[in-house]
Amino acid sequence: MSTAARRRRRPRYTLKESALGLALLAPSIVVFVAFFYRPFLNLLHWGRFESRRNGAYFEYVGLDQYREQLTSEDFREGLWHSVQFVLYTVPPGIVLGVLLAVTAHRKLKGIKVFQAIFSSTLASSVAVTSVVFFYFFNDTVGLFKVDWLENPDWAMFAVGLSSIWQNLGLSFVIVLAGLQTVPDEVLEAATLDGYGPTRRLLRVTLPLISPVLLFLVVVLVIFGLQAFAQVDLLTKGGPVSATETLVYKINRLNRPDNIGIGAVYSVGLFFITLAVTTTQFALLDRRVHYAR
Amino acid sequence: MASLTFENVTKRFDEVVAVDDLDLHIVDGEFMVLLGPSGCGKTTALRMIAGLEDITEGKLLIGDTVVNDVDPAKRDVSMVFQSYALYPHMTVHRNIESPLLVRKYHADGPDRPARKLTRAERNERVAEAARVLGLDELLRRKPAALSGGQRQRVALARAFVGRPQAFLMDEPLSNLDAKLRAATRLELVDLHRRVETTVVYVTHDQVEAMTMADRIAVMSTGRLQQVGTPQEVYEAPANLFVAQFIGTPPMNTLDGTLGSDGIDTGAGVVPVPPHLAGRLEGGRKLVVGVRPEHLTLTPGGPLEMAVRAVEWLGHECLVFGTTGGADAVVRQTGMAGVAAGDTARVAVEAADVHVFDPDTTERLA
C-alpha cells in the first residue's frame, strides 16, 4: 500500500449514500446469507448434537463433540491425506504451469492453437479426467498397466497426477495472462544487462508476475483441500483408507447417523482452509511485488 | 569506447523494409543523434546495434568486429529505453547494480582476463554512478516511489555503471515534461563529456538533435537522408525532406523557373545564390527554399505576401501568409508592423536562398 493510501482518511457517507451502497450490495448479501452464512450456522448447530439410534433422535452434547472429533485418529488421518494431496498437486502444478506458459508465450505463427490446447484441461470435467486416468492406470486394460490405484502407497500419488493434469489448464491460462503483462522493454533491458534466459525468468519475469503466482498458490491449495470427485471416481477413498481426504470423510459421514460428526469435520476443514489461506497471504504477500 | 559502423545494412520485417541500405559510421566518442519522423527506421537501427533485432543484410561493426551474430549481452553496449524499463521489484541500488552482477569486466587492466566484480567493487561503482546522477538519497527506494525524472536518472545510471562501449538511447526524454526535458538535455551533454563514451541517441525531436548532437543522421522511410553537424544539416540541407524537417517553422519553399534576373516564382523574383550564379541553364525548373528568419518584411521587397495571421511571441513574431500560392512564414524580432488581411512585400538575401531540384528533391550545390 502506498503511503498516500495509508494516510487517506476514511470518507464520511451521507445516509443516502449508505443506503445506495447497501442496496447495491444487497443481491450478493442475499446470496451469501442463503448459501453460505445460514448453512454455516446450521453446521455449527448440528456439530453440538450426537446421533442416537441411527439418527432417530439427536442428543445435545455441546462442544464436547468438537473436542472429541477434531482430535480423533480419523480426523487426523483425513487431514494428513488432504495435506499429502495438496503437496502432491500444488508445487508440481505451478512449476508445470509456468514452464508450459513460458514455452507458449512466444510470437509464433499458430501459437494460439497451442495455447488453446494447453488450456483445454480447464474445460474438461473432473469426471472425464478421472475416467481417462482410471484407464491409464488400470492394470489389465490400461495404457500404463500399473497397480497404483490399488496400491495404498501409490494411490494418492496417482489421484494427484490426475489433478495436476486437471488443473494444468488453469495454471497455464493464469500464468500466461501474467506473462503478457510483463513489459518487453524490461526483458530487453535484462538481456542487455547480461541476463540469460533462466536468470531472466527467475530474477525478472517471476517476480513481476508474483501476484498471479500468489493467486494461483491460494486457489490450488483450496482446490486441493476440497478435492472430492477425483477421489470418489478413482479410488472411493481406498485402498483401505489411503486416499480418504477430509472432504471424502465428510461425505462419508454425511448420513443421519453421523451428521453431527460430519458437521464437526466440516467446521474443522473450514477453519483449516481459512488459516492456511490467511497464512499464505501473510507469508507470501511480503515477497509479492504489486506493480503500480 | 568504440566506433560503430553500419555497412549497407538492411532490415526487413516480412515485406516491410524498416531500414534500407544504411551506411553510417559513428566515430568513437561521438554523440550521434538519429533523427526522423516515426516509422523512419531510427529505432530499428538502434535496436540492431543493441542486438535486439536481427540484421537482414549488410554488416554491423562495433570497433573493428562484425557483431551481426554476437549475443546482445556480449556486445558491451547499454541502452536507455523510452519507458526506462527499470526492474520494478528491485531497489534503485539493485537496478543500477544489475549489469555488474552478471557481466565480466577487465577490472585488473585491459591485458588481464575479464572477471566478475567483487561486492566492494560493485558498491563503489554504484555509489559513483549514483553520485554523478544525484541519486545518493534514493538508493533504497523502489522505482514506484520515484518521479519520472528520477526514474530516468536511474535508467541512465544503470546504463553507464558498466562503462560500456556505447550508450544507446531511445527517446529517453519523451516521457518528461517540457521543463525537465530542457534541463535533462544539458545534463546528458554534460554526462557525455564526462564519460566520453560513444552515444547513439534516437529522437523525433529536432530540438534535442540540434542541441545535443555532435552529428545528426536524418532518416526518412528507412533511408538515411543526410549526416552532418547540426550546423551543416541546418545551413545546407541535402534535400527537401531535411530542409523541411529541420527548423521550426519549417523552411519556406516555392516552385520557380530560372530567368535572366533571378528565379521567377510567380510571386516575384528571388535572387540566385552566389555559389550557383552562372552555373545553371536558363529556363530550368527549380524549387526555392528560404528559412523564415531569412525573409524580411520590407516595403520595396521583390516578393508579394498575403498576410493571414500574425503570432507575437514576445522575443519574435511569426507572420503567416501565402506567396505565389504557397504557404509562407516570416520570422522577425520585434513587432511585425503588418496585420492579417494586409499585403506585404518580402525580401531575401541571395546567400540565404537554397535551391533544390524538383525531380530528385536534392539540393543543388
> Is B30's pLDDT higher than 90?
yes
> Is A2's pLDDT higher than 50?
no
Give the whole-angstrom CA distance, residue B54 versus residue B72: 10
Tell if the CB–CB gap between B81 and A188 is shorter than 8 Å. yes
Annotated domain spans of chain A = 66-285
Tell if the CB–CB gap between A183 and B83 is shorter than 8 Å. yes
In B, minimum Cα distance to A287 occurs at B89
> Is A7's pLDDT higher than 60?
no
Mean pLDDT within B116-123: 87
Strand order in the sheet with B57-62: B16-26, B4-13, B57-62, B65-66
A residues 190..249 contacting B (CB < 8 A): 190-196, 199, 204, 207-208, 210
Residue A188 touches chain B, beta carbons under 8 Å:
yes
Q: What is the mean pLDDT of chain B?
A: 89
pLDDT band per the 50, 70, 90 thresholds, residue A158: confident
Share of chain A above pLDDT 70, in %: 92
Residue A275 touches chain B, beta carbons under 8 Å:
no
Tell if the CB–CB gap between B85 and A186 is shorter than 8 Å. yes
Mean pLDDT within A63-80: 82
In B, minimum Cα distance to A210 occurs at B89
> Is A4's pLDDT higher than 60?
no
The upper half-sphere exposure of residue B306, i.e. CA atoms within 13 Å in the direction of its Cβ, equals: 8
Looking at residue B274, what is its pLDDT? Answer: 87
3-state secondary structure chain A: CCHHHHHCCCCCCCHHHHHHHHHHHHHHHHHHHHHHHHHHHHHHHHCCEEEECCCCEEEECCCHHHHHHHCCHHHHHHHHHHHHHHHHHHHHHHHHHHHHHHHHCCCCCCHHHHHHHHHHHHHCCHHHHHHHHHHHHCCCCCCCCCCHHHCCCCHHHHHHHHHHHHHHHHHHHHHHHHHCCCCHHHHHHHHHCCCCHHHHHHHHHHHHCHHHHHHHHHHHHHHHHHCCHHHHHHCCCCCCCCCCCHHHHHHHHCCHHHHHHHHHHHHHHHHHHHHHHHHHHHHHHCCCCCCC
E strand spans, B127-259: 166-170, 198-203, 215-220, 223-228, 252-258
| Cβ atoms B335, B312 nearer than 8 A | yes
| Cβ atoms A190, A243 nearer than 8 A | no
Tell if the CB–CB gap between A192 and B78 is shorter than 8 Å. yes
Q: Write out pLDDT tens, residues B58-114.
A: 999 998 989 999 988 888 899 999 889 999 999 999 999 998 888 888 777 777 888
Kindly give the residue spans of alpha helices, DSSP state H, lying in B225-311.
Answer: 230-235, 240-245
Query: Which residues, listed in sequence order, are joined to residue A60 by a DSSP beta bridge?
Result: A49
> Is A1's pLDDT higher than 50?
no
Q: Chain A contacts of B72, Cβ < 8 Å?
A: 191-192
Please enumerate residues of B whose Cβ is less than 8 A from a Cβ of A: 50-52, 72-73, 77-79, 81-83, 85-89, 98-99, 101-103, 144, 158
Give the whole-angstrom CA distance, residue B41 versus residue B63: 23
How many CB atoms are located within 10 Å of the residue B172 CB?
26
When CB atoms are compared, the residue of A192, A199, A289 closest to B50 is: A192
Tell if the CB–CB gap between B103 and A292 is shorter than 8 Å. no
Identify the residue among A191, A192, A214 best suited for mutation to test binding to B, counting B beta carbons within 10 A and taking the highest.
A192
Q: Is the dihedral of CA B117, B121, B126, B128 positive or negative?
A: negative
| Cβ atoms B224, B215 nearer than 8 A | no
Q: Write out pLDDT tens, residues A201-252.
A: 999 999 999 888 888 988 999 899 888 888 888 787 778 887 888 888 888 8
Q: Write out pLDDT tens, residues B216-269.
A: 999 999 999 999 999 999 999 999 999 999 988 999 999 989 888 888 888 888
Give the whole-angstrom CA distance, residue A225 versus residue A80: 11
Q: Write out pLDDT tens, residues B133-176.
A: 888 888 899 988 888 888 988 998 998 888 888 999 999 888 88
| Cβ atoms A92, A162 nearer than 8 A | no
Domains and CATH numbers, chain B: 4-241 (3.40.50.300), 249-356 (no CATH)
Tell if the CB–CB gap between A189 and B81 is shorter than 8 Å. yes
The model's pTM is 0.80
Per the omega criterion (within 30 degrees of 0), is the bond before A211 cis?
no
Q: Chain A contacts of B77, Cβ < 8 Å?
A: 192
Q: Chain A contacts of B76, Cβ < 8 Å?
A: none
The region of weakest confidence among A19-28, A100-109, B309-318, B341-350 is A100-109
| CATH number belonging to the domain at A66-285, selected among 1.10.150.530, 1.10.3720.10, 3.40.50.20, 1.10.1380.10 | 1.10.3720.10
